[in-house]
Structure formats: structure tokens, C-alpha cells
Structure 1
Amino acid sequence: MLNLVLFGPPGAGKGTQSQKLIDKYQLVHLSTGDILRAEIAAGTELGLEAKKLMDQGVLVPDEVVIGMISNKLDANSNAKGFIFDGFPRTVAQAEALDQLLTSKNTAISGMIALEVENEELKKRLLLRGKDSGRADDQNPEVIQKRIDEYNNKTAPVANYYQGQDKFTGVYGIGVIDEIFSNICIVVDAY
């Protein structure tokens, strides 16, 4: 089973590249952001709490996210593999994900990190905010807080996967298809 963690700061292109990976490798997409936004759209209690936190640029509690992922894994037990988009975001989440996958007789194959400079991220997110209507992409202060949150809490996850020899960085600026080709070279080596 091919299980990929697609990694990078907000606005790095994870959503764009994950869709291309899903199509090519027939993976099930596990985007915690999409799952949470669906809960928000449905107006569930979890969704309302998640919206409040997301609008502030704060991460949703680990146990909630791990529970959602476990449910998605169970619902897709015959999948060829999964792509984890935007998760794990902390070392604690990475450890919890490893434990969850081990309990389901699988593991992370590798982590691919899209590397993009902060100024480019800000430009991309503000542009996306104009089109998407997402409040967290329209406010420069919230965008900066999300980038800071990533740098302070999420970037150490790369070290976790480097310690398992499962980390590869891919430059995330340029033509989408060229970036995708570089990602595929990494995936095909697993």
C-alpha cells in the first residue's frame, strides 16, 4: 500500500499536487482541511468549533483529527493507498498516525515536502482568498499566523520523517506539471 504525506506550508500547492497524485496512483485523498470544511458546511458541532479555530489560524485538537482519519481509513479499506494532505502537522500527530497505521497493518511510505518561500505563500493565499471566499486566506495577519504556526509546530515533523529516512523535499515554485514530474520521480522510488 502506498501511503504518502504531502507536506508544506499553507499555499504551497498541496491541494493541486495531491489531486494529480490521486489521479495517477489511484490513492484516496485524506485532507483534514477538506474534512473539517465539510463539517463546517454541514453545521455540525465539530464544524462550528473547527471554524472558530481555523479562522484564528489555530490547529484543531489531535484526537479529533486522528479519529476522523481512522474513520476514513476504515471506510476505504480496499484502497491502493492514501495521500495525507495537511496532516500530520506536529510530531505528536506523526507518532499517532504511525500507531494508527500500524494497528491497520500499514505504514507511511514517504513524506514529500513542497518547499516555497514565505513571500510567495502570502501572495498565493491572498489570491486564493479572493476566489475561494475562505476567511483564513483573506486576512494578511491570519495568513502570517498560519505560516508562523507551520514554521514553529509543523516543520519539525520533517525531522521526524528524516529520522525514518522517509523525507524528500521538492521545490514548489514553477510550472505545476514540472513540479508534479519531480514528485513522481520520488514516489516511483518507493
Structure 2
Amino acid sequence: MALHKIFRAVIMGPPGSGKGTVSERIIKSFPLKHISSGDILRANIKAQTELGLLMKACIDQGQLVPDDVMSRIILSDLRKMDQSSWLVDGFPRTVCQAEALDDAYSVDTVINLDVPFQTIKQRLTSRWTHLPSGRVYNTDFNPPKVQGMDDVTGEPLVQRDDDTPGTVTRRLKSYETQTEPVLEYYRSKGVLETFTGTETNKIWPHVEAFLNRKLSSVNRKAA
């Protein structure tokens, strides 16, 4: 589907809700560019930009990256795509960040993946990673051919600190307190669309149908 008007979307959901998978499917099916806040942050830290160094100092001290730093980094990347339609993943995480995004751009829709925390805990604590390549396995639905070993290199898999049961519980709690108000913020603006379920493959057809309707309507208004 070609777009006659720039369309801007945000995807939200707790860690482990399938945002990455759904984002990949969206950009394969629709003419949107995927912007991952995690990728942008890692690139800034690696390139040792001024904001990247500031951010690394926060992370090293176990502090949250301040809202204004996060907003400046992400908005600086979005400005390079002023004439593009995009899907932002992993930002905004606080109401302050949502307001900064709103000041710069009009967000057309916010896709919220509502997956029960119990499902996420099960999913994340079953996740094992091959660190050098970033390949991720799940002992429940995508296990390695040999237990504990990467399919390609045969090297050992590790469970990232982020995926241990205690950390997962803390991350979900933090998401709830920080990001729930952002969902409320977008709900009050009438742009929030929530998709509830326990399996990405079952949630995806609903997201796809919604975006087909939404983008068709955008095209009709632009015509």
C-alpha cells in the first residue's frame, strides 16, 4: 500500500510482549520505517557521541537515562526522517517523553500490545541468547537443536541478566509504574489502540487488519 500522507505510529508493550516481532511484520507489510530506541541508544554509546557518553554514565551508575537526554537522542534521529512515515519502538517511556514527541510531531496511532505479565515471565525466563550474534532461542517454542548451544556456531548460550526471574519481575513492575501513565496519556488523546492476547501469531492479524483500515482512511483523507 502506497501512502499519500506521512503516517507516524508508536508501538508499546511490556518487555517480552513481542514488540520486536510485531514491528518487523508491520514494516514488511506497510511502508513505514522502524525506529528502535534501543538501536539508537546503542549506536550513540558505540560512537561515543556527547549524548551517548552522558547516557553511558547514567547506565554505569545504575541510573535511568534522564527524559530530556532520551528525547534529544530519539528526536535527533526522527528529524533525519522528516519526510518519512515511521513506527517508533521503545519510546516514549514516560509522559514527559510523550510530551516531547508531541511537541515535535503529530502521532497518528499508538499500538499497545497488552500481554499478561504471567505469560511474559514464562516467555522471558525461557529465553537464551548467543551473545556474539544476538540470536535468541526460547526453550518453549524456539529451542536450539542442541540444548544450551547455538545452532550456527555450536557455542554456548547464556541467559542474559535481563531475563532472570528476579530481573523480569522488576522490569515488569517498572514498566507498569512508568509506562501505564503514557498509555493513559494517549488514550485521552484518542489515538491508543490496544491488542490483547498471549500469542504474537494470534495478535498480529488484528494489528494488520487495524493498520489496513487506518492507512486506507489516511489515504482517502489525503486524496
TM-score between the two structures when normalised by the length of structure 2: 0.71
CA contact (8 A) 1:66 1:97 kept: yes
Q: Which runs of 5+ in 1 are unaligned?
A: 102-106
Q: Which runs of 5+ in 2 are unaligned?
A: 1-5, 135-157, 215-223
CA deviations 1:47-74 (Å, max 9, x no partner) are 5335436xx5x64211122112222122
- Normalized per residue, the structure richer in helix is 1
Aligned Cα root-mean-square deviation (Å): 2.3
CA distance in 2: counterparts of 1:38 and 1:27, whole angstroms: 21
Pick closer, same or farther for the CA change 1:60–1:134 going to 2, 3 Å: farther
Question: How far 1:160 sits from its partner (Å)?
Answer: 0.8
After superposition, residues 26-175 of structure 1 pair within 5 angstroms as 26-42=31-47, 45-46=53-54, 48-49=56-57, 51-52=59-60, 56=62, 59-79=64-84, 81-101=85-105, 107-131=106-130, 132=134, 135-175=160-200
1:188 correspondence with 2:212: yes
TM-score between the two structures when normalised by the length of structure 1: 0.83
State, as a whole percentage, how many aligned pairs show the same letter.
34
CA deviations 1:65-85 (Å, max 9, x no partner) are 211222212222331x11111
**Aligned pair count?**
180
Question: How far 1:128 sits from its partner (Å)?
Answer: 3.2
Alignment partner, residue 104 of structure 1: none
Alignment partner, residue 155 of structure 2: none
- DSSP-derived class of the 1:26 partner: coil
The AA in structure 2 aligned to 1:185 is A
The AA in structure 1 aligned to 2:87 is I
Where relative contact order (Cα < 8 A, 6+ residues apart) is larger, the structure is 1
